[in-house]
């Protein structure tokens, strides 16, 4: 699919204007846009502005409460539950990370659950926030069921994302960010839009047969990463994000696309770790530099040009986007422009 | 490889006697044996008593300090570092879980690092302990480098294990336990002993070419689970277990087999979560039952007989071992009996 480069500030204002026109409060519109642009600027198209049409559809239908504020539902020493109150997951997850950082400053580690939430976009956005504040963090959450349990042929588990953020002295943090499915569903949508195949091992069709056709995969089942290991991780995240926060889990979670009028009531789970409770920050910075140098000096395999740290490819693309503009698929941009038109906005006022 | 069933209590006493004869204090000998039998009783031969010969070799050579006691190195609210003081990792990791449970009772979540440690055996042993006490837990740790960073051809990262334990009301807990390598090194040793091949995708030979020969794999490189995802997870565990505890990491960690006289100075990281800080325990038990029923009711794929929960296959084997005795490979038992003979012990006094 052709990509175009779009001005970062123009795209930011354009997306915010669309969300505000759909009834979202400006602060929340900014956060949701920040998270989408986090992804597109890093070349992670699967989590970028391609989500705006469904977000807007869910706002209009009532599945996402436009006026909701995130609020603290319970608070007890190093733990807390933040409720999204059926509003945007991004707003509540951002607040959860902020609360968890404050608590980790005091207790050394903190866990904040996010309850009654919706889609949060790229989990790496939140672990990067914590890493920029100097903290190690783990962010995960459950989603509508897209995978069977290992060996089964009915959907029970989400592609439940898992991100880990690790500060690296003066450098860009290491950001690990993965779906616990073999491939992210967003990437399957992209392959479908582009008319491309998906890798074998990502999905089964609705009869339980392996497929490389994204259309069949969307009708069928995603497979977990690393087989039963990904099944276990996805299930554990369902417990942390869903059960522990008092949100929905497993087959209870309504579909994001199919039922735009129903709040998803998914949950997320944030753990933040204060490095200074373990070792001095200056020593940490020295040691992590040693670790990274040890990785960077490794000779690549013949077919590989260089060794990357987790999140480094995305960081390099981010720097390129800062310079040249945000890469957006032509078809995705068409969809977003059409959406803007329906809301009475003129793309030309933002994107030139 | 032929397996024989051995009396649990006899094998327990036999292994303890071997360790005590090698200079280990009886309490530590019991803990180390408990962890090995945890594995063999669950059919996880890769983490069972096949480790006794190398443990003993390292005790005699000085890589494991026979008289070491685990001690609290630092303590600050919800965090703590326990040092193994170059003794058995099992002893320190067990203490770390106990300390973390106490802290999680008060703060809701706790993190305890284990510093200056050695091999801990099956990580699931420790998460099961926490689950039996009613707590969710995460246990991970770093190991001697066995994998290159993704795309590289020099060893930098361990098969760094990750276990998550989840209490399930009155039932056996869910225990997720995995190497972050595609296959555990212990399983490659077993395949070598049995003269079997290993799955493609587990390893590269020393030239960086894919191999299914366990001998070539042992000389070459393990590959991470799920490609770059396992690379990221393994690296994150190196930071938590190694860097954060002030232990060694990456290429610094000496080999477990090749240098029996050198303490490994590896680290582990334990996170314990208090369910009751989030939701009432009775409600948790109800919800987790719903989650499990949702999984158990799923229709299996044609070639699959039933759907298992994480740790369930191991639990069923444990129950069988309780009834019929512990399954041990004949060749492994021969090695352990020979070791006992060298230490002046008669196997017949224990295993009849």
For chain A, strand residue ranges (E) read 3-6, 71-76, 79-83, 109-117, 136-141, 162-166, 174-178, 203-204, 210-211, 221-222, 266-273, 326-329
Same-domain check for residues A98 and A179: yes
Report pLDDT digits (tens) over B56-79.
Answer: 999 999 999 999 999 999 999 999
How confident is the model at residue B303, as a pLDDT? 87
Is there a single domain that holds both residue A47 and residue A77? no
Quick check: A292 contacting B, CB < 8 Å?
no
Q: Where residue A245 sits, what CATH number does that domain have?
A: 3.30.1370.60
CATH number for A319? 1.10.1530.10
What's this model's pTM, rounded to 2 decimal places? 0.97
Task: Output the pLDDT for position B147.
Answer: 96
Name residue, tokens 């950082």.
A101
What are the Cα distances from residue A262, in Å, to A61, A216, B86? 8, 25, 56
Tokens standing for A309?
A: 């740290």
d(CA B101, CA B109): 8
Range of the domain at A228: 71-277
Contact A243 B182 (CB under 8 A): no
- pLDDT tens readout for residues B287-344: 999 999 999 999 999 889 999 999 999 999 999 999 999 999 999 999 999 999 999 9
A51 lies in the same domain as A82: no
B47: annotated active-site residue:
no
3-state class of A60 per DSSP? helix
- Please tell me the distance from the alpha carbon of residue A223 to that of residue A159, in angstroms, as a whole number: 9
State the pLDDT at residue A303.
Answer: 87
Whether B277 and A231 lie within 8 Å, measured CB to CB: no
3-state secondary structure of A221: strand
Q: Quick check: ipTM above 0.90? A: yes
Q: Taking 70 as the threshold, does the pLDDT of residue B199 lie above it?
A: yes
B122 neighbors B140 (Cβ within 8 angstroms): no
Is the pLDDT score of B347 beyond 90? yes
Binary contact (B278, A235; C-beta < 8 A): no
Which among A176, A277, A302 has the least Cβ separation from residue B233? A176
> H or E element: which one contains B234?
helix B228-237
Tens of pLDDT, residue by residue over B5-25, are: 999 999 999 999 999 999 999
Q: How far apart are CA B21 and CA B351, in angstroms?
A: 17
What is the Cα–Cα distance from B252 to B264, expressed in whole angstroms?
A: 9
**What's the rounded Cα separation, in Å, for the pair B14 and B328?**
13
Instruction: For residues A266 and A156, state if they share a domain.
Output: yes
* Residue in A89, A101, A171, A165 with CA at minimum distance from that of residue A127: A165
Tokens 């190195």 correspond to B73
Q: Do A81 and B150 touch (CB under 8 A)?
A: no
Whether B17 and chain A come into contact, CB under 8 Å, resolves to no
Q: B129-155 pLDDT, tens per residue?
A: 999 999 999 999 999 999 999 999 999
- Supply the pLDDT for residue A28: 97
Chain B, residues 49-78, CB within 8 A of chain A, namely 74, 76-78
Report helix, strand or coil for B13. Answer: helix
First to last CA, chain B: 21
Q: How confident is the model at residue B186 (pLDDT cuts 50, 70, 90)?
A: confident
Same domain, A126 and A270: yes
pLDDT score of B144: 95
Domains of chain A: total? 2
CB within 8 Å of chain B, chain A residues 293-332: 294-295, 298-302, 304, 306-310
Is residue A207 located within the same domain as residue A321?
no
Nearest to A178 among B208, B232, B274 (CB): B232
Q: Could you tell me if A81 and A46 lie in one domain?
A: no
**Closest-CA distance of chain B to residue A19, Å:** 33
Kindly report the nearest CA distance between residue A41 and chain B, in angstroms: 21
Provide the token pair at A221. 């089942």
> Tokens representing B34?
């408990």
Q: Do residue A106 and residue A219 come from a single domain?
A: yes
Mean residue pLDDT of chain A comes to 96
Distance from CA of A138 to the nearest CA of B (A): 10
| Positions in chain A short of pLDDT 50 | none
Residues 6+ apart with CB under 8 A from A56: A18, A19, A22, A339, A343
Asked whether residue A60 falls in the same domain as residue A99, the answer is: no
Domain presence at residue A317: yes
Query: Domain for residue A303, yes or no?
Result: no
Does residue B1 surpass a pLDDT of 80? Answer: no
User: What pLDDT does residue B2 have?
Assistant: 84
A174/A311 Cα distance (integer angstroms): 6
The band of B118, judged by pLDDT with boundaries at 50, 70 and 90, is very high
- Examine the fold and report which residue of A255, A277, A299 is the final residue of a domain before the chain moves on: A277
Residues A268 and A174 in one domain: yes
User: What whole-number distance in Å separates Cα of residue B105 and Cα of residue A260?
Assistant: 40
């Amino acid at each position: 699919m052709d990509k175009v480069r779009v001005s970062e500030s123009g795209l930011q204002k354009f997306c915010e204007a669309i969300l505000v026109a759909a009834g979202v409060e400006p602060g929340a519109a900014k956060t949701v846009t920040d998270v989408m642009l986090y992804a597109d600027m890093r070349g992670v198209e699967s989590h970028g502005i391609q989500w705006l049409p469904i977000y807007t559809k869910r706002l209009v239908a009532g599945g996402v409460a436009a006026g909701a504020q995130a609020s603290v539902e319970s608070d007890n020493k190093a733990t807390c539950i933040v409720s999204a109150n059926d509003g945007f997951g991004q707003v509540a997850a951002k607040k959860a990370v902020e609360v968890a950082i404050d608590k980790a400053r005091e207790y050394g580690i903190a866990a904040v659950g996010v309850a009654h939430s919706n889609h949060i976009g790229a989990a790496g956005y939140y672990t990067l926030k914590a890493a920029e504040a100097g903290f190690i963090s783990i962010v995960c959450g459950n989603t509508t069921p897209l995978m069977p349990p290992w060996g089964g042929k009915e959907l029970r588990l989400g592609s439940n994302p898992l991100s880990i953020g690790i500060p690296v002295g003066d450098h860009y943090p290491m950001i690990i960010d993965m779906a616990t499915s073999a491939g992210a569903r967003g990437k399957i949508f992209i392959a479908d839009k582009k008319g491309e195949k998906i890798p074998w091992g990502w999905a089964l069709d609705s009869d339980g047969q392996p497929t490389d056709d994204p259309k069949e995969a969307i009708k069928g089942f995603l497979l977990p990463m690393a087989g039963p290991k990904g099944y276990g991780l996805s299930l554990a995240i369902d417990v942390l994000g869903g059960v522990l926060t008092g949100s929905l889990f497993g087959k209870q979670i309504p579909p994001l696309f199919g039922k735009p009028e129903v709040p998803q009531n998914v949950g997320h789970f944030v753990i933040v770790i204060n490095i200074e409770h373990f070792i001095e920050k200056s020593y940490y910075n020295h040691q992590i530099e040693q670790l990274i140098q040890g990785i960077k000096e490794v000779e690549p395999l013949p077919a590989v040009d260089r060794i990357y740290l987790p999140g480094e490819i995305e960081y390099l693309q981010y720097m390129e986007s800062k310079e040249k503009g945000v890469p957006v698929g032509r078809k995705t941009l068409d969809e977003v422009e059409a959406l803007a038109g329906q809301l009475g906005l003129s793309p030309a006022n933002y994107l030139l």
